[in-house]
Structure 1
Amino acid sequence: MASSLCENCSRLVKELAAHLRRICREFEQKIRDVFRELCQCTCFRVTPERSLLRRETQEFLRPLHEDESQLLSQEGLQTLTRLAASENTDLQMTAAMYYLHVSHHLKSRLPDDFMEPVMTLLLSPDLDVQKTVSLALVNLLVKNNESNRDAIIVDGIIPLLALAKSYDPRVQRNATWALLHLTHSDWSTRILCQAGGIPVLVLLLQSSDSEVQFCGCTALCNIAAIQEHHPKLLSIGGHYLLKSLLTLTSSSVQKNSAQACRCLQTLSKNGNYKEEYLKLTWCRMQILFVNFMCSSDPGAADGARLCAAPEGAPENPNRCVDRAGHDTPLCAVCTSTKPRLLGALLSPALSDDTLLHVTSCLRHLMTWDLLRCNLSATITAEQVLGLVKLSGQTHKPLLSYNCAAITSKLEMTEEIFALLRPHYSTVSQYLLVFLQKKDVKFQQLGIVTIFNLKKDGDFSSLLADSELEVQLDKVHAQTEETRRLLQMVQPLPPSPVNPPLSQTKH
């Protein structure tokens, strides 16, 4: 059959076909070379050793569904050792999962030999392998198995503490997560502290990773909940723990800041260290309280509650400010946030308990001259109304006391009197209730408030011949009677005016 192509086109087609055949031969050779190299690699080459390891792994996994005695066989240990030492992360994960299964089901002592592959798995480059075997160690410890104690401390916790000091944040995260889980049990917490875990956890507060900081701080919080560990926590030189926690309270991560406040609050309950704690932390906690109160973050109210520790306030906060050097930052905070500070008390989002904590702390802050001046100069009519209403409620007496105390500590200038005058009737009512109470602190607050308000002629006119004035006279009479009775029990000391009885007789 004759070709319909000209001579030139026929030549071009033949050259193209020859070129394609050459390319196909080269491509075929390239494929052969690639597969030859792949077959030589251990990843693809099926060697007798690899086939044996696969069969051993299958046999090794079979006891997972059998009785406990089969979990810890000598053959299983040999296979575990080989799997842990393998460069294949899937095989390492198989070993880690086996340990996790054992940690859930084992009721007897874990043989010491079975702890040896754990170190290898903890040093695996695969983070999932690390995390799985870490969880297995946690499970073994929280079971409170005394017989495993020494082995797990040496072969379990100490490697975890070493990993927690890694420069790789991902490795740190896994190790710290495991250490945190150890603090969920009193028994394992005690072991962790004995193994030297506290200094490591304190160092983790300085980590650049916020999750590591949170896990480390939460672990320290759990440890601080057991008072027997307080000496170890607070014996680190130079108040390092308290200073590290105070630094963490400034974190931009809300949960880290709140957790640091929670840990400081827990430590403040130790009477042996209370004075030391107050010197270092009180001023900073009050600055944090102001920041939390003026934050729009939904979790800020809880943070403010954690910063509020009214039972621990020093007698002279102004002296504490001078020593700590916090007057400048506090002034800056007050200047930028004072319009919202008392306004936060009017928020309907605050629960009664949170409101109680917040007002208790604010009451102590009002003894701070700097803050009292700022608030007195910027308080609004709406905020005064809110304080008066809370002072007059009766279902929470302490809340009423706190708000009345805040009001009484305002600087009684003409501007403050102008804000209070519309509410003098309500103020008189709750002051009458205070004077009628048997609790002396309520009576004293009522007397101080009346003394301050009498500087305003309008209040003095309202007080004259009122039920409040009658009750005030009763309290005065009771006080004088009490003083007379006390003098009968404990006579005045000798003086030129009151000579001893023996001298009088002669």
Structure 2
Amino acid sequence: MGLLCQRCLELLLDIVNFVKRLSSRIVERIKECMVLVRECCCMKPKSFKVRHLYEPVLPNHEKQAAQEFLNHLEAGLGERQLGKETLDALRILAFSENADLQQSAALYYLHMSQHMTAKLPQEFLEPYQALLQSSDLEVQQMSSLSLVNFLLEGYLNKELVVQVGLLEPVLELLESGDSAVQCNSCACIMMLAVSESNREAIGIAGGIRPLLTLAKSYDPRVQQNAVGAILNLTRSEHIKSILCRQGALPVLILLLQSPDSDIQYYSCASLGNIAANADHHEAMMEIGDKFLLRMLVSLMSSSVQKVSSQACLCLNNLASNAEIRTHIHALDIIHLLLILLNSSSKDVRQASITLLCTMTHPPGNMNAVLCKELLTHLVVLMQRERTNPVVVVHAACTIQNLSQSENIEVIIQSQCFEELLQALLDPNNEEETLQYLASCLSELAKHDITRECLIDKKDKGLIRCLVKLAGLVEHKELSFHAASVIKQLSHYGKISAELKFLIKDVQHYLMCFLSHPELRFQQLSIATLCTLSEDTEFSTVISQSQLKEQLEQLRKQTEDTQALLRLTLSQTESADSTK
């Protein structure tokens, strides 16, 4: 080392003088510290072995639990898999502070979830509390995945999972920084939300906001499960309102543009459920100046059939609003719907006829040309789906919606009218389906051209069918509409002649109508009797039957009612005059 400069020498002299001025006590303390440092193990020769790693000492009960775990893995999932010994071992491992032991428990649950074929007992849910709340990422991943597997296979009661307190730790995992954990926890919420009570619990526990955040994740798996969970939550009216208040609508609408068809489907279905409540329509239309309608119409043409059908169903719920229906018409949707009626997918066909039925609801702006084109496509669907009640019902309602005066001739001359009559005569159709068919025919029968067409057919089977349906008074709407058609046709002598062969059945339903508590049934029965009485044979039969007695009783009741009305009116007038 070279000589020190003058400045450095002066500094060292200052230090020496400073040390000399220190008290003897401090000097002694410095010496003591130096001695301790020299005696430290780090100052020992290099040959001295030092343990650099901490090796935790496992308590005996944890050692036994770990050994039990190994034994079970070696034995496989036999009869002992759900025994008390297994449960005790899992409890110890799960609640251990040792991450390796927790991983062992999580791995065992994962192994069980992939190989079990029986329900998981309630007591086996207890270790999940510790595993889901573990600070070890692998434990979180494995335990959340095993819970997903158990729920997916139906080996866990969904309400029980929430009741034992596992909802909160699952919701906490939604905010994990790991995409696998987020994915699994979203999947858990999606399956738990199948239950109505669980949906309410998820809303109360604050699970909606983190799900909306994850619905915007860059990981498509996380997005899928998050939006799938939101879809199940939208099956609750209360939760739908919370979702809308917390900003779900813009998120779901933007997700309609996702390149992932599953995300498109979940988003579309969620919006459809929300749109089922008309209170949300205004808010849905405000986003992007009816951007939702344009996106849904675009998705109707999707090559993914479930997306196409769901877009139709969402639009159908929105189209229940007459103002929104007008906006949808402006997007030239009818021609697109006519194409979808011939789709290779049954779901798409059903969804498109459902939306078409709603879009033709008056005022549907259907001129004769468009009506004829629509009927041409509709008949193909009716012939293809004769046994499908969804198609038959909505086809009948669509024809009824089109039955304005300017379209009646086009309807009657179309093959759709023939298909309508054949469906009414089909014994395989249920009462609900027949109700809509009879309602449509009743509406059409108000027009002369329809009645003339039915008379010219001389279809005895149709008359017998109508009388039979009119007698089904326990299905009052079906009965009423069938009887209305009979009343419309009874003006014609030829129909009266056919009814003579069924006079007992006609008397039966007319008697039921006269004693019916609803006034419209009584009025229809009386109007039908008036028409039938124009025929001498019918008049004779009526005069000799209980119908005459029932009519007389009804007349007396009417007179008594009129007398009471007159009395009430006169008293009211007297009271007014004394004021």
* Fold agreement, TM-score > 0.5: yes
- Maintained 8 Å contact 2:310/2:351: no
> For residue 388 of structure 1, what is the aligned residue in structure 2?
379
> For residue 33 of structure 1, what is the aligned residue in structure 2?
none
Distance in 2 (CA, whole Å) between partners of 1:434 and 1:118 is 58
Q: 1:386 to 1:146 in 2, by over 3 A?
A: closer
> For residue 307 of structure 1, what is the aligned residue in structure 2?
314
1:68 aligned to 57, 81, 86, which one?
Answer: 86
- Maintained 8 Å contact 2:375/2:416: no
Distance in 1 (CA, whole Å) between partners of 2:336 and 2:405 is 17
Matched, 1:196 2:194: no
Could you list the runs of 5+ residues in structure 2 that have no partner in the other structure?
1-45, 73-84, 426-433, 464-484, 492-519, 529-553, 571-579
CA offsets 1:88-113 (integer angstroms, 9 cap, x no match): xxx8744642565699877537778x
Distance in 2 (CA, whole Å) between partners of 1:145 and 1:390 is 43
For 1:209-248, what aligned pairs fall within 5 Å after superposition? 209-225=219-235, 227=236, 230-236=237-243, 238=245, 240-242=247-249, 244-248=251-255
Shift of 1:344: 2.1
Q: 1:293 to 1:411 in 2, by over 3 A?
A: farther
Corresponding letter in the other structure for 2:208: I
> For residue 119 of structure 1, what is the aligned residue in structure 2?
133
> For residue 97 of structure 1, what is the aligned residue in structure 2?
107
Matched, 1:344 2:340: yes
Distance in 1 (CA, whole Å) between partners of 2:489 and 2:159 is 67
Corresponding letter in the other structure for 1:260: S
CA offsets 1:36-71 (integer angstroms, 9 cap, x no match): xxxx9xxxx996745968x99986532113623641
CA offsets 1:395-448 (integer angstroms, 9 cap, x no match): 554144145347657986xxx99xx69x92635645777999886631354258
Distance in 1 (CA, whole Å) between partners of 2:372 and 2:325 is 27
Distance in 2 (CA, whole Å) between partners of 1:145 and 1:346 is 43
Shift of 1:299: 3.3
Matched, 1:319 2:323: yes
The number of aligned residues is: 400
Root mean square deviation of aligned Cα: 5.8
- Maintained 8 Å contact 2:400/2:443: yes
> For residue 179 of structure 1, what is the aligned residue in structure 2?
189
> For residue 441 of structure 2, what is the aligned residue in structure 1?
443
TM-score (normalised: structure 2): 0.51
> For residue 278 of structure 2, what is the aligned residue in structure 1?
275
Identity among equivalent positions (%) equals 18
Q: 1:304 to 1:475 in 2, by over 3 A?
A: farther
2:99 aligned to 55, 61, 83, which one?
Answer: 83
Q: 1:57 to 1:47 in 2, by over 3 A?
A: farther
CA offsets 1:195-235 (integer angstroms, 9 cap, x no match): 2213332443344443323212222333444x4xx324413
Shift of 1:177: 3.0
Distance in 1 (CA, whole Å) between partners of 2:90 and 2:486 is 85
Distance in 2 (CA, whole Å) between partners of 1:360 and 1:185 is 28
Q: Secondary structure at the match of 1:235?
A: helix
> For residue 360 of structure 1, what is the aligned residue in structure 2?
354
Q: 1:276 to 1:296 in 2, by over 3 A?
A: same
Matched, 1:259 2:263: no
- Maintained 8 Å contact 1:217/1:260: yes
Distance in 2 (CA, whole Å) between partners of 1:367 and 1:466 is 30
For 1:488-499, what aligned pairs fall within 5 Å after superposition? none
Q: Secondary structure at the match of 2:345?
A: coil
For 1:371-410, what aligned pairs fall within 5 Å after superposition? 384-390=375-381, 395=387, 396=389, 397-402=392-397, 404-405=399-400, 408=403
Matched, 1:162 2:175: yes
> For residue 304 of structure 2, what is the aligned residue in structure 1?
297
CA offsets 1:222-277 (integer angstroms, 9 cap, x no match): 3444x4xx3244135647345544444454432222223333444566xxxx3314
- Maintained 8 Å contact 1:248/1:256: yes
TM-score (normalised: structure 1): 0.56
Q: 1:405 to 1:101 in 2, by over 3 A?
A: same
- Maintained 8 Å contact 1:391/1:400: yes
Q: 1:289 to 1:477 in 2, by over 3 A?
A: farther
- Maintained 8 Å contact 1:302/1:354: yes
- Maintained 8 Å contact 1:249/1:256: yes
Q: 1:93 to 1:186 in 2, by over 3 A?
A: farther
- Maintained 8 Å contact 1:214/1:256: yes
Q: Secondary structure at the match of 1:358?
A: helix
> For residue 424 of structure 1, what is the aligned residue in structure 2?
413
Distance in 2 (CA, whole Å) between partners of 1:303 and 1:262 is 6
- Higher RCO (CA < 8 A, seq sep 6+): 1
- Maintained 8 Å contact 2:341/2:349: yes
Q: 1:92 to 1:385 in 2, by over 3 A?
A: same
Which shows bigger deviation, 480-489 or 208-217?
Answer: 480-489
Shift of 1:473: 10
- Maintained 8 Å contact 1:201/1:220: yes
Shift of 1:387: 2.1
Corresponding letter in the other structure for 1:159: E
- Maintained 8 Å contact 2:255/2:263: yes
- Maintained 8 Å contact 1:308/1:360: no
Distance in 2 (CA, whole Å) between partners of 1:47 and 1:387 is 82
